[in-house]
Structure 1
Amino acid sequence: MDISATQAIPWRGLPLAALRALWAGPTWRSLMHLVTGAAVGSLGGIAILTLVAVGLAGLVTVVLPFAAGVGILVLSAGLTVVQRSRHAAFLNAAWPEGLYAQPVTFAPRALLATVRNPKTWRHFAYHCTAGVYGFVAAFLALTAWAAGAAMITAPLLAIGSGVGLRHWIMGVVGIGVLLAAPWVTRGLAALDALMARQLLGTSRAEALELRVTDLAASRNSTVDAADAERRRIERDLHDGAQQRLTSLAMNLGIARATLPDLPEAGTRALEQAHEEAKQVLTELRDLVRGLHPAVLEDRGLDAALSAVAARSPVPVRLRVDMDRRAARDVEAVAYFVVSEALTNAARHSGAQTAAVDVTCRGDRLHLRITDDGRGGADPHGGTGLRGLADRVRSVDGDFHLTSPLGGPTTIEAELPCAS
């Protein structure tokens, strides 16, 4: 294949592309963007300069500079809305925060925070720049269109009196200017869009902050949905299957007591069925408590942990010092941390005693679970410690494990305590 021919292929479409650009949608949207930008930028720039002049003229007072400053903030916020809307309408610009600026609040602290926010000054810088650039860009674009259209008619105007060479040259130049006008228009609009993205958009740090906020909200909704689903399953099991199993166990116990004359095989089968029904009922009660204990919902963390300590095979010293209840999801996480830690102490550490301290101070809920077992607890050893850490992190808490060989093992967790 001839390389020169291959390189020449893209150039063949340039004349047609240049002609299409004259009536292409992006060209005329860019032109409308520049024209509206000249109007909005000029009016906004005049208004800002007026407010600045009023503020400077009233420096001897306090009211006028303050009023002018607040007026500039309000005007800048309004211009941000208009400019973002204009860029979205004509240039299909996408704004991470939507088309609307944050409203200006007139409380002193809110005004001070607005003034200190770098975003406020970036927006103000764009509006000041747009007051000049908008007018200049629209003038250049309209001049290119008008000059090209006027020059291209030069040979026609000279027909009748004889067309000179300079008229033909002017006509040819006019064609070139007219063909270049769409690209000049688009280029000026693209430059305006670039400035808007840098000054009216969000910085990388702000975009990351917004992303983190969205992810936190999504995580919270997921945690809330999972917690609600656990409570629903607990209610269904408690009101349905657990009640039926209780009734079945009672009926089997009554049958054992009232049917003493059954054959030996029947008696053994009845006894086995009764014992298995009681075992299943016990396992179901443990499962229900593991999903979401009713006592935690009704009476709070103190009562729920007291029940856990009472059921623990290892003697537990429990101290709960809370002046208020924490959020429902936080209480659930605290309950499961203590319950799983005591289960691990009974099953894996060989502990003789354990201690649980729960305190709520300020906005933090502190958990400390200690046992005198053999230590060496490993989060990767399949004892559920990694799951505990994940539960704690799901509510923005901190999880720490200390378990040297020979013991003792200490689990500490800090959770948000806001109710």
Structure 2
Amino acid sequence: MAIRGGAPRRTYTWITAHAPWSAWAWRNTAFTAAAIPAALPVLLGLTCTVTAPGPGPGTIPPLLVLLLGPLLTRLQRSRFRALLGLEVPKVEREGGRLTPFGLVRRMRSEATWRQYGYHLLVSPLAAVAGALVVLAWAFGVAAACIYGWIWILPTETRTAGWSNDYDAITCGGALLLLAAPWLAALFARLDAAAAAALLGPNRARELERRVEDLAESRAGVLDAADLERRRIERDLHDGAQQRLVALAMNLGIARATLPDLPAEAKAVIDEAHREAKEAIEELNSLVRGLHPAVLEDRGLDAALSGIAARAPFPVELSVDIGQRPGATVEAVAYFVVSETLANVAKHARADHCRVHVVRGPAPVPSARGGDLLRITVTDDGVGGADPARGTGLVGLHKRVGSVDGTIKIESPLGGPTVITVELPCGL
């Protein structure tokens, strides 16, 4: 029974919420009617311009409209906020408030003329719409209550009997009362859409500015992360690594200068010495993976040469970049080559690998710069590399995407595998 009664109850609730006596109807009516006094300065200026064109007293009201533009804008925003509950965002002003140069910049601003477009075009139309709504309510009440007006009249002026004309007028007045709230709601929605487009900020410009802010914020985060990696690399190199080197040296000296130690003690010293050297080697690999010092000192060519020399297979390296890209792009390029060669060594079973790095113009120049750093890594392994089956290629995608780069992987079964990465040099 509750399910069957749900639809009639919702219908009844909807009808009462949109009836002529509902708060929804009176709110929209008050909002549209409030457009009339808000448009009076503009209507006065337009009237004076039409009736007295040319220089003279007729030009004073239009000039007042131009001067009162900011005040009219605040008035309209208050109308939307107080009567409709709609907050129209403010527009950031260009130029100063009192300086002539600032006023000139403000008058040349696109946002200023959009607001004047609202005041000179939409505001008068909104006032006319408000007048139509008020008249609809007035004529609706007058027509629906026509029999009441007749009984108020003196007896000798009443029309004898019931008239079909009066019945039609009463029905028309009732229909007009039912339509008036919807007419007010329609005008309110149109006015709100126009205000959002003209009184508020330009959506396209706001999105463009937001994208620029996000790009700058991301660039700052990347720079901060790169600086943090460099700090960790320095701390490991100057701290833990030096301590491990000293420990290995002391163990080596102890093994060489204490020949009379028992065999068990010598075995322990030998094992500790071997583990210390392995820890140093692992720490060296970790430091190089974070941010190698040679990358900062001598650039990408020297850093990649070190990676190629340490690879367990022959690597043909070709680097032609001319001017060095930004530090963040260099770090990402180093990571891409290092991680790719590591994946080749683990999974590809390749006998040879070729790395080609070149800097050249982009097909479509961007705002960050027209050059791209192209990295191509080719191996003669078994192929079949799939980003969905491992975290190595997923990490490459994320690292390349952090600088708006692109990565393309071609790895058919049987090989060869070709990984092409393009990084914007303007970052």
Structure 1-normalised TM-score? 0.66
CA distance in 2 between counterparts of 1:45 and 1:213 reads 41
User: Structure 1 residues 407 and 147 mapped into 2: Cα distance closer, same or farther (>3 Å)?
Assistant: closer
Deviations, residues 111-157 of structure 1 (Å, cap 9, x unaligned): xxx99xxx9998786555315313313434566789999999xx9xx
Report the Cα distance in structure 2 between the residues aligned to 1:376 and 1:215, rounded to whole angstroms: 38
- Compared CA separation, residues 316 and 237, structure 1 to 2 (3 A): same
Matching of residue 414 in structure 1 with residue 413 in structure 2: no
2:399 is the counterpart of 1:382: no
Query: Secondary structure of 1:414's match?
Result: strand
Q: Please name the residue that 1:398 is paired with.
A: 406
Cα pair 1:44 1:127 within 8 Å, conserved:
no
Residue identity over aligned pairs, in percent, reads 46
Moved more, 355-364 or 132-141: 132-141
The answer for the alignment partner of 2:86 in structure 1 is 93
Asked if the contact 1:44–1:131 (Cα under 8 Å) also holds between the matched residues in 2, the reply is no
1:38 alignment counterpart: 39
User: Which residue of structure 2 lines up, in the alignment, with residue 134 of structure 1?
Assistant: 126
Name the SS of the counterpart of 1:99 in structure 2: coil
- Give, in whole Å, the separation in 2 of the partners of 1:49 and 1:299: 75
Aligned residues: 381
Paired residue for 1:65?
none
Larger CA deviation: 223-232 vs 21-30 = 21-30
Contact 1:402 1:409 in 2 (8 A): yes
Look up the match of 2:272. 273
Amino acid at match of 1:281: I
Amino acid of the residue matched to residue 323 of structure 2? Answer: R
Higher mean C-alpha displacement, 272-281 vs 7-16: 7-16
Matching of residues 302-381 of structure 1 within 5 Å? 302-362=301-361, 363-371=371-379, 373-380=380-387, 381=389
CA contact (8 A) 1:300 1:325 kept: yes
Q: Answer yes or no: is the 8 Å Cα contact 1:367–1:413 preserved in 2.
A: yes
Alpha-carbon separation, structure 2, partners of 1:138 and 1:331: 63
Residues 354-377 of structure 1 deviation map (CA, whole Å, 9 limit, x = unaligned): 332222224111112233x32414
Cα distance in structure 2, aligned partners of 1:11 and 1:387? 55
Q: Which residue of 2 aligns with 1:260?
A: 259
Rate the CA distance shift 1:194–1:382 in 2: closer, same or farther, 3 A: closer
Give the structure-2-normalised TM-score. Answer: 0.65
Change in Cα spacing, 1:374 to 1:394, as seen in structure 2 (3 Å) is: same
Aligned-pair CA distance for 1:314 = 2.4
Q: CA deviation at 1:329?
A: 1.9
Distance 1:331 1:7, change over 3 A: same
Shift of residue 306, structure 1, vs aligned partner: 2.3
**Deviation, structure 1 residue 240:** 3.3
Q: Tell me if the contact between 2:32 and 2:129 (Cα under 8 Å) persists in the aligned partners.
A: no
Name the structure 1 match of 2:191. 192
- Quick check: 388-397 or 234-243, which moved more? 234-243
Provide, for residues 51-89 of structure 1, a one-character-per-residue CA deviation record: whole Å limited to 9, x for no partner.
x999xxxxxxxxxxxxxxxx9xx99x9799658845653
Which residue of structure 2 aligns with residue 234 of structure 1? 233
Gaps of 5+ in 1: 55-70
How many Å separate the matches in 2 of 1:130 and 1:385?
Answer: 56
| Letter of the 1:132 counterpart | P
Alignment match, 1:285: 284
Q: Distance in 2 between matches of 1:78 and 1:35?
A: 18
**How big is the alpha-carbon RMSD for the aligned residues of Structure 1 and Structure 2?**
5.5
Q: Secondary structure at the match of 2:374?
A: strand
Question: Which piece of structure 1 moves more, 180-189 or 142-151?
Answer: 142-151
Q: Partners in 2 of 1:48 and 1:283 — Cα distance? A: 84
Q: 2 CA distance for matches of 1:316 and 1:188?
A: 72
Structure 2: how far apart are the matches of 1:17 and 1:196? 27
Q: Structure 2 vs 1, CA of residues 393 and 143 (structure 1 numbering), >3 Å: closer, same or farther?
A: same
The amino acid of 1:299's aligned partner reads R
